[in-house]
Structure 1
Amino acid sequence: MGVHKREREADETKGQYIKKSSAIMLAVMGVFLGAFIGNAVTMLYVGQREQRVNVSAQATPTESPVPHSADPEALASMENAAAADPTNADLWIQLGNFCFDHNLPARAVNAYERALELKPNEVNVWSDLGVMYRRTKQFEKAVGAFGHAAALDKSHITSRFNMGIVYLHDLNDPASALKVWKEVLAINPEAKSPTGQRVADMVRELEK
Structure 2
Amino acid sequence: MATRKKPPAASAPSTRVSVPLLLLLAFALGAGTSWLVTRAAHRASPQPVIQNFIPPGVSASPNVAPLASPVAAPPPDVSKLPPAEAARTLANWNYDRQNWSHAIEHYEQAMTLGADNPDVRTDLGNCYRFLGQPEKALEQYQLAQKQDPQHENSLFNQISLFAQLLHDQDRATSAAREFIARFPQSPQAETARQQLQTNPGLPQRN
Matching residue within 163, 168, 174 for 1:179: 174
1:124-163 correspondence runs (5 A): 124-163=119-158
Measured in 2, the distance between the counterparts of 1:186 and 1:122 equals 24
Identity %: 23
Alignment of 1:31-46 (within 5 A): none
163-172 vs 115-124, greater mean Cα deviation: 115-124
Q: How far has the Cα of 1:201 moved from its partner? A: 3.8
Q: CA RMSD in A?
A: 3.3
CA distance in 2, matches of 1:116, 1:184: 26
Please tell me whether the aligned partners of residues 127 and 159 of structure 1 are also in contact (alpha carbons under 8 angstroms): yes
Q: What does the per-residue CA deviation read over 1:70-95, in whole Å, with 9 as the maximum and x for residues that have no partner?
A: 965622x65xx57x99x811110000
Q: Cα gap change, 1:128/1:65 in structure 2, threshold over 3 Å: closer, same or farther? A: closer
Q: Which of 99, 102, 116 is matched with 1:121 structurally? A: 116
- Number of residue pairs matched by the alignment: 140
The match for 1:66 is 65
- With normalisation by structure 2, the TM-score equals 0.57
Q: How far apart, CA to CA, are the structure 1 residues paired with 2:68 and 2:119?
A: 23
Give the one of 193, 196, 200 matched to 1:200.
193
Which structure has the greater CA radius of gyration?
Answer: 2
Kindly indicate whether the alpha-carbon contact (under 8 Å) linking 2:118 and 2:154 is maintained by their aligned counterparts in 1: no
State the TM-score, normalized to the length of structure 1: 0.56
C-alpha change, 1:148 and 1:63, in structure 2 (3 Å) is farther
Q: Report deviation, 1:118.
A: 2.0
After superposition, the Cα gap between the structure-2 partners of 1:147 and 1:120, relative to the gap in structure 1 and judged at 3 Å, is: farther
Cα deviation per residue 1:135-176 (whole Å; 9 max; x = unaligned)? 111111111111111111111111111111111101111122
8 Å CA contact retained: 2:88, 2:110: yes
Report how far residue 200 of structure 1 moved: 2.5
**Matches of 1:204 and 1:73, distance apart in 2:** 41
In 2, Cα distance between equivalents of 1:104 and 1:183:
32
Compared CA separation, residues 201 and 73, structure 1 to 2 (3 A): closer
Which of 93, 96, 111 is the equivalent residue of 1:98?
Answer: 93
Structure number with greater CO (CA < 8 Å, separation at least 6) is: 1
For the 8 Å contact 1:191–1:199, the answer to whether it is kept is no
| Letter in structure 1 aligned against 2:175 | V
Q: Which amino acid aligns with 1:202?
A: Q
User: How far is the alpha carbon of 1:179 from its aligned partner?
Assistant: 2.2
Partner residue in 2 for 1:111: 106
